[in-house]
Chain A
Amino acid sequence: NAGVTQTPKFQVLKTGQSMTLQCAQDMNHEYMSWYRQDPGMGLRLIHYSVGAGITDQGEVPNGYNVSRSTTEDFPLRLLSAAPSQTSVYFCASSYSPGATYNEQFFGPGTRLTVL
């Protein structure tokens, strides 16, 4: 199994540009989530999904959209990039809809810089 994969690994955007961060998992996990990690801030939950067709907001959802059309894929869209969105983005998945009852498997991250 490849586990959780993320593309791209690095990305530089200009303010106002849009882009999609890709996340895929091949473990048939129901739960998927997106986090951002900033220095000294730990990880903060952006959006999550408990199954195909179901998404919900996390702690810092503004400026981001998600969709979950398949069990495997959970893309994160930046609508109009801002310098405040410069961060490292992690996708994670776990077996069941309850993230807190299961370990989460993390992807390798996408390092995004917005100029």
Chain B
Amino acid sequence: SQQGEEDPQALSIQEGENATMNCSYKTSINNLQWYRQNSGRGLVHLILIRSNEREKHSGRLRVTLDTSKKSSSLLITASRAADTASYFCATDRAGTASKLTFGTGTRLQVTL
């Protein structure tokens, strides 16, 4: 069963706007990761946030984690056409350090 569920399933914005994607999960976790997948390609790691962290930044990316609500959000600021991709969150159940469970993803379309 899917541990992570992303919301929305699809998002279309114009270049320069911010994009926010959300991930909800079901059980306690050690860490949460976000990945990007361009069409027809493998996944690329974006950022990892540990369960004791609440916010993390990397360039134009901002990730938040609320363990009490079992949710995370990924914010991409000043989006570019090159950000067009699918974005997945990946979580692990506490105590299963070798297994990641991926959500179903958010398809982001950034238009000029």
Chain A residues with a Cβ under 8 A of chain B: 4, 31, 35, 40-45, 48, 50, 56, 58-59, 90, 92, 97-109
**Docked pose: A108 CA to B41 CA in angstroms:** 5
B99 touches A103 (CB 8 A): no
A98 touches B98 (CB 8 A): yes
Given known pairs A40-B104, A42-B103, the reply for A101 and B45 (CB within 8 Å) is: no
- Contact partner, B44, options A43, A100, A106, Cβ 8 Å: A106
A and B contact pairs by CB, cutoff 8 A, 24 listed: A4-B42, A42-B102, A42-B104, A43-B43, A43-B102, A45-B101, A50-B98, A56-B98, A59-B101, A90-B42, A90-B43, A97-B97, A97-B98, A98-B97, A99-B99, A100-B92, A100-B99, A101-B31, A104-B45, A105-B45, A106-B43, A107-B42, A108-B42, A109-B41
**Docked pose: A99 CA to B88 CA in angstroms:** 16
User: Which residues in B have their C-beta under 8 angstroms from that of A56?
Assistant: 98
**Docked pose: A59 CA to B44 CA in angstroms:** 21
User: Which residues in B have their C-beta under 8 angstroms from that of A106?
Assistant: 42-44
Q: How large is the interface on B (under 10, 10 to 19, 20 to 34, 35 or more residues)?
A: 20 to 34
**Docked pose: A100 CA to B51 CA in angstroms:** 11
- Beyond the given A43-B88, A100-B33, please list 4 additional residue pairs across the A-B interface where CB-CB is below 8 A: A42-B105, A98-B97, A104-B45, A106-B42
